[in-house]
Structure 1
């Protein structure tokens, strides 16, 4: 069976730290896949806020997540500190991807635990229709080219 293999950039424009909460654990005693998706959402909110945006207002456009892919590498446990790195890329007329790298900080080293990518589509919630990516968003969220 083929496995997902994400192509994530090496450079990022935003980093934040999160600590694994007891509520993130599943019956296996480690972070569940559903909890990791919640951590991705938290990191995305912090990334957008850092850029002066919210999911409902990215220079006048709202955002809808159209898809998500996660490549799991290692387990996370209660109390682990995660360094999350983020960048937007692959911009189209109406959307872009947000790429995430999650690393566990242990004994002075960063260990890769997960890679993820969310497809984001710009959306006009009032008109209930997709809209173009507003000007300046690529420069604010992505790497300078």
Structure 2
């Protein structure tokens, strides 16, 4: 069976931390895959806020997630403070790749939890059309 392999770009464009909530746990008493996706979403929103942006306004347009891939590496548990390093990948005319490396510190050791990638598309919610990536966003992504 072919497994998803995600290569994280070396240049980080931001870092956020998110604590694991009790509601993030599943019946196995670790963070569920659906909660990992929620953590990615929260990380993206916090990163955008660091630049005074939101998913509805990244320089005159909004964002839509076109695709998502996650490569799970280790369990995450209640009490973990997840550090998410964000990196940009390919930037096209209307979208870009955003990479996430999730880790937690346990017993003075960094534990890699997951690598992930989202394909983000710039979208005008009023006209319901895909639009070009704003130059201001490109400059943040190429930081």
Flag whether TM exceeds 0.5 (same fold).
yes
Residue of structure 2 in register with 1:60 after alignment: 60
Number of residue pairs the alignment of both structures matches:
143
Residue of structure 2 in register with 1:87 after alignment: 87
- CA deviation profile, 1:54-84 (whole Å, cap 9, x unmatched): 0000000110000000000000011111111
- CA deviation profile, 1:104-124 (whole Å, cap 9, x unmatched): 111222111100001000000
Q: Is the 8 A contact 2:86 2:98 kept in 1?
A: yes
Residue of structure 2 in register with 1:26 after alignment: 26
Q: Output the aligned Cα RMSD.
A: 1.0
Residue of structure 1 in register with 2:96 after alignment: 96
Bigger mean CA deviation after superposition, 104-113 or 91-100? 104-113
- CA deviation profile, 1:25-68 (whole Å, cap 9, x unmatched): 00111000000000000000001111221000000011000000
**How does the TM-score come out when normalised to structure 2?**
0.96
Structure 1 residue ranges without an equivalent (≥5): none
Query: After TM superposition, which residue ranges in structure 1, 4 or more long, deviate above 4 angstroms?
Result: none
CA–CA distance in structure 2, aligned partners of residues 6 and 89 of structure 1:
11
**1:89 CA drift (Å):** 2.2
Q: Is the 8 A contact 1:21 1:79 kept in 2?
A: yes
Residue of structure 1 in register with 2:121 after alignment: 121
**How does the TM-score come out when normalised to structure 1?**
0.95
Q: Is the 8 A contact 1:51 1:141 kept in 2?
A: no
